[in-house]
């Protein structure tokens, strides 16, 4: 039986879900007020990049207006202030991912750089000829190509876990691929093309059972639900700030401290050293060891502001609202005659990929654009997924918590208009 406290907490959550005031959240995003081709903008390309709330824009502007100085070096007030703001952002990310220590949070350009960092620093050190890396069939190119590069260099082999027709990750096939030569598992948390939430807990458990480290690409996960890296127990996790309502050019690489400490540095330069002589250079401790050069300071601070903003709303509330909107959109779009939905996994986040019989996705996007509706078309940087489903391209609507059911209705009306044009 639940305690009274638990029940009260559940009631409180219910009230907050019901009170999810999407109209007021929309006002936080100035771009959502603009028009495109004379129609209100309906932005459904959030998996590509999300829009930015005013508080993120203001934070960046304030940084340049009032706080700009290089960090970690100047012995003066302004530099101290900028350093503090940047390091505060690191702590915000640490709490957001529930990492043990802020030392485990490394700022990168995005998840692409995080994965390349692991391939470069961890892969290069640990891989030998004949070793294997396992990825899945629904990876973004950024979680395929870095592994191909390092595999080619090392004579290692890339193994791919297949997916089924619904876009589900096949755990039994994964089990078959695990073997003593497996040195790393690198899988996406949420597929950018299909929306599938992969069974990361089981994947990590199965890999750990054989003492194999796991990297999770969280680019499409962190904007939609709470991620706890300690609970997942993955060795590496990465995400991009611009998909999390923050600025472009900033991302996060999380790694367990003991692995990071054992890894060689990524790039050489300022800020990543303890001392330099021509005979011997000593590297700085983590996280600085992986952060050579002046970083994207306002990007980090802007990302911190985005995290503050999201936590003010609550990731649970965001997830509950988005799940309802996703179910609504899947039903509404799927009910249109001639529409085929790609990606019908039991657990999904944020993505509706589809095709329309007799119409190329590119034409769908052009016609929807005339209605002010922005969707993505093409291969979504996941060509193997296109191949798996036998199509050259897909149309994709992807959701954020500022999208509404009436916007989904407009998308459906837009798709009917596409059919009219091609009738």
Partner 1 sequence: MSDLRELYQDLIIDHSKRPRNFKVLETADRKLEGYNPLCGDKVTVFLELEDDRVKNVSFQGSGCAISTASASVMTESVKGKTLAEVEALFDVFHQMVTGKPPAAGNAPELGKLAVFSGVSEFPARVKCATLAWHTLHAALQGAGDPVSTE
Does 393 help bind partner 1 (rule: CB under 8 A)?
yes
Does 386 help bind partner 1 (rule: CB under 8 A)?
yes
Q: Which residue has the tokens 């596409």?
A: 418
Asked if 290 contacts 272 with a C-beta cutoff of 8 angstroms, the reply is yes
Torsion 402-403-407-409 (CA) sign: negative
Q: Which is nearer to partner 1, 259 or 374 (CB)?
A: 374
Q: Which is nearer to partner 1, 88 or 369 (CB)?
A: 369
Counting Cβ atoms within 10 Å, is residue 16 exposed (0-12), middle (13-18) or buried (19+)?
Answer: middle
Shortest separation between residue 299's beta carbon and partner 1, angstroms: 26
| Window of 113-121, 168-176, 250-258, 357-365 that interacts with partner 1 by CB under 8 A | 357-365
List, as one string, the DSSP characters of 29-92. -GGGG-EETTEE-EE-BTTT-----HHHHHHHHHIIIII---TTT--SHHHHHHHHHHHHHHHH
Does 358 help bind partner 1 (rule: CB under 8 A)?
yes
Does 125 help bind partner 1 (rule: CB under 8 A)?
no
Does 41 help bind partner 1 (rule: CB under 8 A)?
no
Copy the structure tokens of residue 226.
Answer: 């709470």
| Window of 1-9, 158-166, 256-264, 378-386 that interacts with partner 1 by CB under 8 A | 378-386
Candidates 379, 384, 389, 404; binder of partner 1 (CB under 8 A) is 379
By residue count, the chain amounts to 423
Q: Which is nearer to partner 1, 16 or 417 (CB)?
A: 417
Q: Which residues face 238 on adjacent strands?
A: 217, 253
Cα–Cα distances in angstroms (integers) from residue 89 to residues 83, 276, 300, 301, 305, in the given order: 10, 28, 6, 6, 8
Q: How many helices (H) and strands (E) does the chain have?
A: 16, 17
Asked if 299 contacts 307 with a C-beta cutoff of 8 angstroms, the reply is no
Candidates 378, 384, 389, 412; binder of partner 1 (CB under 8 A) is 378
Does 269 help bind partner 1 (rule: CB under 8 A)?
no
Does 359 help bind partner 1 (rule: CB under 8 A)?
yes
Q: Which residue has the tokens 């954020």?
A: 400
Half-sphere exposure at residue 35, Cβ-oriented, CA atoms within 13 angstroms:
3
Shortest separation between residue 12's beta carbon and partner 1, angstroms: 47
| Window of 86-94, 240-248, 312-320, 358-366 that interacts with partner 1 by CB under 8 A | 358-366
Does 362 help bind partner 1 (rule: CB under 8 A)?
yes
Q: Which is nearer to partner 1, 49 or 81 (CB)?
A: 49
Does 226 help bind partner 1 (rule: CB under 8 A)?
no
Residue 153 belongs to what H/E stretch?
helix 145-154
Candidates 248, 315, 360, 389; binder of partner 1 (CB under 8 A) is 360
Does 264 help bind partner 1 (rule: CB under 8 A)?
no
381 catalytic residue (yes or no): yes
Residue 14 belongs to what H/E stretch?
helix 4-18
| Window of 39-47, 119-127, 148-156, 360-368 that interacts with partner 1 by CB under 8 A | 360-368
Total of residues contacting partner 1 (CB under 8 A): 20
Does 377 help bind partner 1 (rule: CB under 8 A)?
yes
Q: Which residue has the tokens 């093309």?
A: 193
Closest by alpha carbon to 180, among 214, 135, 147, 210?
Answer: 210
Residues that bind partner 1 (CB under 8 A): 37, 358-363, 366-367, 370, 377-379, 383, 386, 392-393, 417, 421-422
- Residues with a known catalytic role: 381
């Amino acid at each position: 039986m639940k305690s009274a406290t638990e029940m009260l907490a559940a009631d409180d959550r219910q009230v907050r879900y019901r009170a999810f005031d999407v109209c007021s959240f929309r006002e936080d995003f100035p771009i959502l007020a603009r028009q495109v081709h004379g129609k209100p903008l309906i932005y459904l390309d959030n998996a590509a990049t999300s829009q930015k709330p005013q508080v993120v824009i203001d934070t960046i502007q304030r940084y340049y207006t009032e706080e700009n100085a290089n960090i970690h070096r100047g012995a003066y007030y302004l530099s101290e202030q900028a350093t503090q703001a940047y390091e505060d952002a690191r702590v915000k990310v640490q709490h957001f991912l529930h990492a043990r220590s802020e030392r485990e949070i490394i700022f990168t350009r995005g998840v692409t750089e995080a994965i390349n960092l692991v391939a470069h620093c961890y892969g290069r050190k640990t891989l030998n000829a004949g070793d294997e890396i396992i990825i899945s069939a629904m990876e973004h190119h950024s979680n395929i190509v870095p592994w191909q590069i390092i595999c080619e260099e090392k004579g290692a082999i890339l193994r791919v876990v297949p997916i089924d027709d619904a876009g589900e990750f096949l755990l039994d096939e994964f089990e078959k691929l695990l073997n003593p030569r497996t040195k790393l598992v690198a899988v996406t948390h949420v597929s950018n093309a299909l929306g599938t939430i992969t069974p990361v807990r089981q994947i990590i458990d199965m890999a750990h059972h054989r003492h194999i480290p796991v990297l999770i690409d969280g680019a499409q996960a962190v904007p939609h639900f709470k991620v706890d890296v300690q609970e997942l127990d993955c060795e590496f996790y990465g995400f991009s700030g611009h998909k999390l309502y923050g600025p472009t050019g900033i991302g996060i690489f999380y790694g367990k401290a003991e692995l990071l400490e054992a890894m060689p540095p990524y790039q050489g330069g300022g800020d990543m050293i303890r001392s330099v002589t021509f005979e011997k250079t000593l590297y700085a401790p983590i996280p600085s060891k992986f952060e050579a050069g002046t970083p994207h300071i306002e990007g980090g601070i802007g990302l911190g502001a985005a995290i503050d903003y999201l936590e003010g709303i609550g990731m649970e509330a965001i997830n509950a609202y988005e799940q309802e909107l996703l179910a609504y959109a899947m039903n509404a779009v799927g009910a249109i005659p001639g529409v085929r939905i790609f990606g019908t996994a039991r657990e999904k986040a944020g993505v509706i990929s589809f095709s329309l019989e007799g119409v190329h996705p590119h034409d769908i996007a052009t016609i929807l654009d005339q209605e002010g509706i922005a969707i993505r078309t093409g291969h979504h940087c996941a060509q193997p997924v296109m191949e798996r489903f036998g199509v050259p391209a897909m149309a994709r609507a992807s959701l954020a918590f500022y999208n509404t059911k009436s916007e989904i209705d407009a998308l459906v009306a837009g798709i009917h208009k596409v059919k009219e044009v091609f009738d």
